[in-house]
């Protein structure tokens, strides 16, 4: 989210977790309009159904303005963000933050509690030790030192002044695993408020759709084949209305060393990349939930993930490490295997 040129180049070349599949129906009014920008360290594409190009462009521009505002608040790397201020004062002082930052951090901790810590917004100290660009991984001793700091229960909230404090010096709050889903939700709310009745807010692997295509059919969202050679290689396609979908995959940021794939989805219990899955896709009405839960389920591992999906009636599509798949019963009617 820091906007540096290297980040822009990386985001421009990003391997999308999901590929949006749609068709512009010629001769049908209203029409589909879309625009892409690099925000929050990734390519964001907003697609809207509107009666005029002017209305579409005005709504899209307002949405991107809001996304840039959220980026400035929630960025882990931007020195002027709320998150950076919280991290700089870890173990020292509580920091008054914006309502957006406060609410999102609270939601992140709620998901942590729901998932038994599989999702942990305090993962920062371990995450910064991994350098996927230069294929460098931390030593076991380095990771061991960070483990006591990976503790979401030590994030302290004060609702009276919307302040947040990290109890221990060295803790680092990282909302990257939930911020894009939250931003997708906010974007859809804004576009709806502007009179846009249908569209897609796509933030790499986090997508929120509302309404239908101009011909009345659902939006079709493709799930990338984790070991496909291109982003267009799909393993399944979802047909969705008024839903969010997120995929967490081991192919987004990774390197292979001595035949072992090291990727960016870290287990807070070990600081190491989580195993058992190639990708996890979650569907839910809220993007903030799909974003965090796709990560959490990935971290849980096979047995705990399947038990969690059954217990919570979560709509999920899993690709295990051996390439086999699982589709929850409540998602089968919306998913077409490729």
Collapsing DSSP to helix, strand or coil, 287 comes out as: helix
For 54: left if phi > 0, alpha if psi spans -120 to 50, otherwise beta; the answer is alpha
58 phi, psi to nearest 5 deg: -65, -45
In the block, which residue shows the tokens 């509107």?
A: 50
Cβ proximity of 264 and 296 under 8 Å: no
DSSP tag of 274:
P
In whole angstroms, what is the distance from residue 60 CA to residue 37 CA? 11
- In this predicted structure, what is the pLDDT of residue 101? 98
The domains located in the chain, with CATH, are: 77-166 (1.10.3980.10)
Which pTM was predicted?
A: 0.91
Strand ordering across the sheet containing 219-224: 18-21, 219-224, 234-240, 335-337
Cα 328 to Cα 104: distance, rounded to the nearest angstrom: 28
How far apart (Å, rounded) are the C-alpha atoms in residues 127 and 123? 6
Q: What is the pLDDT of residue 12?
A: 41
pLDDT means per 10 residues, the chain with 338 residues, are: 44 40 48 96 97 97 98 98 98 98 98 98 98 96 97 98 98 98 98 97 96 97 95 96 98 95 98 97 98 98 98 98 98 96
DSSP string, 36-99: EEEETTEEEEEEEEES-HHHHHHHHHHHHHHHHHHHHHH-SS-TTSHHHHHHHTTTT--EE--H
Q: What's the confidence (pLDDT) of residue 303? A: 98
pLDDT given at position 160: 97
pLDDT at 24: 40
């Amino acid at each position: 989210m820091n906007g540096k040129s290297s980040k822009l180049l990386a985001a421009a070349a990003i391997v999308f977790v999901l590929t949006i599949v749609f068709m512009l129906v010629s001769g049908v009014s209203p029409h589909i309009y879309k625009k892409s920008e690099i925000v929050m360290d990734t390519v964001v594409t907003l697609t809207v159904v509107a009666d005029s190009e002017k209305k579409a462009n005005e709504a899209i521009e307002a949405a991107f303005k809001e996304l840039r505002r959220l980026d400035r608040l929630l960025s882990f790397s931007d020195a002027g963000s709320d998150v950076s201020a919280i991290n700089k004062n870890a173990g020292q002082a509580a920091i008054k933050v914006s309502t957006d930052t406060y609410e999102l951090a609270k939601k992140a901790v709620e998901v942590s509690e729901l998932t038994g810590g599989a999702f942990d917004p305090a993962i920062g100290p371990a995450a910064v030790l991994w350098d996927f660009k230069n294929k460098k991984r931390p030593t076991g001793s380095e990771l061991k030192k960070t483990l006591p700091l990976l503790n979401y229960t030590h994030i302290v909230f004060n609702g009276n002044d919307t302040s947040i404090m990290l109890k221990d010096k060295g803790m680092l709050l990282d909302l990257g695993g939930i911020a894009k889903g939250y931003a997708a939700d906010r974007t859809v709310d804004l576009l709806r408020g502007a009179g846009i009745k249908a569209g897609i807010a796509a933030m790499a692997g986090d997508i929120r759709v509302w309404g239908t295509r101009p011909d009345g059919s659902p939006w079709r969202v493709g799930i990338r084949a984790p070991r496909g050679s291109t982003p267009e290689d799909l393993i399944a396609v979802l047909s969705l209305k008024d839903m969010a979908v997120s995929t967490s995959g081991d192919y987004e940021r990774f390197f292979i060393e001595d035949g072992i794939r090291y990727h960016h989805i870290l287990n807070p219990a070990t600081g190491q990349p989580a195993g058992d899955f190639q990708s996890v896709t979650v569907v839910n009405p809220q993007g903030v939930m799909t974003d965090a839960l796709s990560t959490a389920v990935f971290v849980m591992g096979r047995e705990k993930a399947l038990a969690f999906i059954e217990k919570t009636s979560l709509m999920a599509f899993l690709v295990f490490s051996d390439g086999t798949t699982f589709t929850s019963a409540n998602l089968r009617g919306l998913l077409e295997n490729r």
